[in-house]
Amino acid sequence: MTDEQDVRKAGWVNEAWQAAADKAARIGERIGTGFPHASVNGEYALEDPHWWTAGFWPGMLWQLYEGTGEERFRTLAEGCEERLDQVLHQYERLDHDLGFMWTLTSVASHRLTGSENSRRRALQAANYLAGRFNLSGRFIRAWNPWSEGEDNSGIAIIDCCMNMPLLYWASRESGDPRYRQIAVAHMETVLEHFVRPDGSVYHIVQFDSATGERIRGLGGQGFAAESAWSRGTAWAIYGLALSYHHTGQPRFRDAAKRVAHYFLSQLPEDSVPHWDFRLPEGVAKHRDSSAASCAACGLLLIADLVGEREAGSYRRAAERILESLYRNYGDWDNPKQEGLILHGTDHFPEGRNIDVPLIYGDYFFVEGLARLRGTEAIFWQ
């Protein structure tokens, strides 16, 4: 890269960072310590704190606090974390998303402020997460029953790769290897049963929860069992790369690269994926900008973990994605839109939150920029 290109790059990254910080400060005045999920008609709908998305707004606030030093971001992030206490003991309302929720709140807070309360909360969350491990199938159970009498004790999902960092953190923090052993066992199951030879992944795999035998793959939030849900692919890229970061086991690195190559090979011109990479003719090809920003963070981590000879292509791919999100998907100066990044797709098969900003898309966009600016504060690591 020439010096001139370097300067241009620094230019857009800093511009995008400032735009994100300004917008977060503005929307924070209304959202406060709420838990935004999808911005419908320009306004973020606020969810109950038990919903899996509860960590992303505070996580973004912690990133912005770290990058700007502005106390207002920290105050709101701490307020969100305190509000999460009301669900920390509600077993039936908590599922495997404990990792998403407490990594971006309590682990983040402990890391940036040294808070002992935050450390205790995160250890408690890690214990609940470890308690979901199925010994026969070597997987973390995804959900509790959604309806009376439903048996989903054998369901595991690709998203859970991103919950493993809470277990790696808990082992490091407590000196007890069991959390990490569980994370490694779960990720070995991901390698065996979720990642396909071409680098695409299943969203859901159903096991027999008594014997541990694999029963079948399911479509979930993707179009079909054998299709390729783009956000699930992004969860796999980043989650596998994180498992390599935490364990040094090359099979996680190799799988992360394989899934990344598949993801990159499927991108349209503007580097932002459709919601599923294998859609038949006639099915709406909405974008999922959240898959793009999450994958970009995973690609930047891969770039940090592979040799210099390979790193450049992962880093450039991530930069292309993030710059496209900033220039083509950002809605920076519109007071009638709270979302930072437009055109996310939450759950197409159920018709939920299609073609709207999503808080996790916004979060990973800000994390991606923080990475490009050289932050040390990546809470999953």
Which residue in 6, 48, 85, 159 is the catalytic one?
159
- What string marks each residue from 334 to 353 as x (binds ligand GLY by CB under 6 A) or -? ------------x-------
List, in sequence order, the alpha helices (H) in 32-151.
56-68, 71-84, 98-102, 108-113, 116-130
82: helix, coil or strand?
A: helix
Which residue in 6, 22, 48, 97 is the catalytic one?
97
Annotated active-site residue 331? The verdict is no
Helical (H) or strand (E) element with 352? strand 352-356
Residue 312 CB, shortest distance to ligand GLY, in Å, is 29
Nearest to 348 by CA among 340, 339, 358, 338: 358
Residue nearest to ligand GLY (CB): 159
Q: Which of 66, 78, 159, 362 binds ligand GLY (CB under 6 A)?
A: 159
Q: Is 252 an interacting residue with respect to ligand GLY (CB under 6 A)?
A: no
Scanning residues 215 to 234, which ones bind ligand GLY (CB under 6 A)? Answer: 221, 231
In angstroms, the CA 72 to CA 257 distance is: 38
Residue 94 CB, shortest distance to ligand GLY, in Å, is 14
Residue 227 CB, shortest distance to ligand GLY, in Å, is 15
Nearest residue (CB) to ligand GLY, 105 versus 221 = 221
Residue 346 CB, shortest distance to ligand GLY, in Å, is 6
CB atoms within 10 A of CB 4: 8
Q: Is 52 an interacting residue with respect to ligand GLY (CB under 6 A)?
A: yes
Nearest residue (CB) to ligand GLY, 55 versus 137 = 55
Name the residue type at position 121. Answer: R
Query: What is the CB-side half-sphere exposure of residue 237 using CA atoms within 13 A?
Result: 31
Task: Report whether 168 contacts 246 (CB < 8 A).
Answer: yes
Nearest residue (CB) to ligand GLY, 76 versus 164 = 164
Nearest residue (CB) to ligand GLY, 67 versus 344 = 344
Helix axes 230-247, 164-174, angle to 10 degrees: 20
Nearest to 232 by CA among 208, 327, 8, 240: 240
Annotated active-site residue 151? The verdict is no
φ, ψ dihedrals at 22, nearest 5°: -65, -45
Residue 64 CB, shortest distance to ligand GLY, in Å, is 23
Nearest residue (CB) to ligand GLY, 97 versus 319 = 97
**Catalytic residue annotation:** 97, 159
List residues near ligand GLY by CB under 6 A: 52, 159, 221, 231, 346
